[in-house]
Amino acid sequence: MDPDEFRRHGHAMVDWIADYWSTVAQRPITSQDPPGAVAARLPLAAPERGEEFPAILADLDKVVVPGLTHWQHPNFYGYFPANISGPSVLADLLSSGLGVQGMLWATSPACTEVETVMMDWLAGLLDLPERFRSTGTGGGVIQDSASSATLVATLAALHRASGGQWRASGVQRRYRAYTSTQGHSSIEKAARIAGLGADGVRPVEVDPEAFGMRPDALRAAIEADLAAGDVPAIVVATIGTTSTTAIDPLPEIGAICAEYGIWLHVDAAYAGAAAVCPELRWTHAGLEYADSYCFDPHKWLLTGFDCDAFWVADRAGLVEALTVMPEYLRNAATGSGAVIDYRDWQVSLGRRFRALKLWFVLRWYGAEGLRAHIRSGVALADRLAGLVRADDRFELVAPHPFSLVCFRLRAGDEQSTELLERVNATGRAYLTHTRVDGRYTLRMAIGAPQTTEAHVRRTWELISDTATVLVGPEGR
């Protein structure tokens, strides 16, 4: 494809995406395809001869679109939002078009330096502790996902807990990780990859009302492990758990980590974006104790997947843990010690120019625009919670400090399960579920850029009408 052909087909592709965005609200949110249907629409083997671009584009509608779940639909309330936006998509296109590899500063200085500055900009926007800024001993890097951030934090924690031995000798002792019973599954995965085994993660009890980690239970778990000769290596605290957006009490947890010399990683994958709003920054109390912190702009900050923002307080320790220097990567800039080589801050070697999408998004929306986006989600969640509260057939299951509302039918699990299935089957709204205290709970995560008050209200009418079919107007 020469540059002129690229220009022509690129315009058609951008038109296609713009049309998709303008019509996505009219589509059923979930695919009606049975398993195997998409694969069956594809030929068994790659074509022998190249094809015309319009033919490829036409097949998007025939082959792919019917098999899509429309995450950008304004009534998509599943999991957590996966925001995208025009500036983010255009910057990703640019990143692909430039095709640079940013593994070393020397392989494309702009790729590294824009990223360092963007991570400092973001730290400023969220008012993160000074220790995470590149102007001090810390710094930020873009990981592909919060799961990778937790893995990298776990590896750096092992390096520190082993007094630097882990690099050479691996896991020689029984190192332990701690997170609340509500911590994300990626914490267990990181522990397994790091060689701690699944039972290397100690699940710590939460308080029964707000579901935050209980500091006394954390202390007891650490003491028990120490008594057994194990080495407490890392505590992963969460701001905004996946099930209910619970917030672990960082001031108490941080003080315990400081007392025992344990690495504190704070996972704010979804909720971290909220801190662009000063009134939501109370969640950061105690963050000054953290050795590392991450959140996903690719969830709720208008930046397309993948973009996890990860900071450490001691960048030298992280680099020491992860660096490997083969001859073919040696270069004068690295040797001078004056540059950042982000390959040493992540698992993979290669990395693309993801900072471009942060740069474009931050400039296009400005802090004001980002705050408006977050505030809209929080206000809509408040409105929804009011509707749930006003209907005696339902109960709110947990506090809703951000834009996720968890609720269920008082009638029981069976009715709540049926309610979710029926609502999702309409194709007009999409919610997911969790279990809270063992009971089936619906999660409605607001936060797509196109979602308005009218969408939330109509979705609630759909939920309420479906409940009437299931449990009647009185809920019995």
Among 68, 84, 114, 146, binds ligand PLP (CB under 6 A): 146
How far is it, in rounded angstroms, from Cα 251 to Cα 233? 19
Among 92, 225, 252, 296, binds ligand PLP (CB under 6 A): 296
What token pair was written down for 6?
Answer: 């690229």
How far is it, in rounded angstroms, from Cα 300 to Cα 189? 24
Q: Interface with ligand PLP includes 308 (CB under 6 A)?
A: yes
Q: Which is nearer to ligand PLP, 274 or 471 (CB)?
A: 274
Q: Interface with ligand PLP includes 242 (CB under 6 A)?
A: yes
Among 238, 303, 334, 434, binds ligand PLP (CB under 6 A): 238
How far is it, in rounded angstroms, from Cα 74 to Cα 445? 11
Among 105, 166, 178, 270, binds ligand PLP (CB under 6 A): 270
**What's the CA dihedral at 313, 375, 17, 90 to 10 degrees?**
-40
Q: What are phi and psi of 325, to 5 degrees?
A: -120, 90
Among 252, 267, 291, 341, binds ligand PLP (CB under 6 A): 267
Cβ–Cβ under 8 Å, residues 140 and 123: yes
Q: Which is nearer to ligand PLP, 270 or 345 (CB)?
A: 270
Cβ–Cβ under 8 Å, residues 179 and 380: no
Q: How far is the CB of 27 from ligand PLP (least distance, A)?
A: 24
Q: Which is nearer to ligand PLP, 95 or 241 (CB)?
A: 241
Q: How far is the CB of 434 from ligand PLP (least distance, A)?
A: 11
Interacting span for ligand PLP (CB under 6 A) from 234-242, 250-258, 322-330, 424-432: 234-242
Cβ–Cβ under 8 Å, residues 155 and 147: no
Q: What is the DSSP letter of 378?
A: H
Cβ–Cβ under 8 Å, residues 72 and 17: no
Interacting span for ligand PLP (CB under 6 A) from 9-17, 120-128, 236-244, 319-327: 236-244
Q: Interface with ligand PLP includes 162 (CB under 6 A)?
A: no
* Rg of the chain, C-alpha, whole Å: 24
Q: How far is the CB of 277 from ligand PLP (least distance, A)?
A: 19
Q: Which is nearer to ligand PLP, 80 or 394 (CB)?
A: 80
Q: Which is nearer to ligand PLP, 186 or 403 (CB)?
A: 186
Among 108, 147, 346, 451, binds ligand PLP (CB under 6 A): 147
Q: Interface with ligand PLP includes 184 (CB under 6 A)?
A: yes
Q: Interface with ligand PLP includes 80 (CB under 6 A)?
A: yes
Q: Which is nearer to ligand PLP, 116 or 186 (CB)?
A: 186
CA dihedral (415, 420, 425, 429) positive or negative: positive
What token pair was written down for 78?
Answer: 């599943």
Cβ–Cβ under 8 Å, residues 226 and 232: yes
Q: By CB under 6 A, what part of segment 325-364 binds ligand PLP?
A: none
Q: What is the DSSP letter of 177?
A: E
Helical (H) or strand (E) element with 395: strand 394-396
Q: Interface with ligand PLP includes 145 (CB under 6 A)?
A: yes
Q: Interface with ligand PLP includes 283 (CB under 6 A)?
A: no
Residue whose tokens read 């052909």: 5
Distances (CA, A) of 356 to 85, 119, 274, 330: 13, 11, 21, 26
Q: Interface with ligand PLP includes 83 (CB under 6 A)?
A: no
Q: Which is nearer to ligand PLP, 266 or 387 (CB)?
A: 266
Q: How far is the CB of 339 from ligand PLP (least distance, A)?
A: 28
Q: How far is the CB of 211 from ligand PLP (least distance, A)?
A: 12
Q: Which is nearer to ligand PLP, 108 or 434 (CB)?
A: 434
Q: Interface with ligand PLP includes 295 (CB under 6 A)?
A: no
How far is it, in rounded angstroms, from Cα 285 to Cα 275? 11
Of the candidates 174, 159, 157, 170, the residue with the CA atom closest to the CA atom of residue 225: 174
Q: Which is nearer to ligand PLP, 146 or 312 (CB)?
A: 146
What token pair was written down for 433?
Answer: 């579920």
What token pair was written down for 11?
Answer: 């315009």
One-character DSSP codes across 216-266? HHHHHHHHHHHHTT-EEEEEEEEBS-TTT--B--HHHHHHHHHHHT-EEEE
Binding footprint of ligand PLP on the chain (CB under 6 A): 80, 145-147, 184, 186, 238, 241-242, 267, 269-270, 296, 308
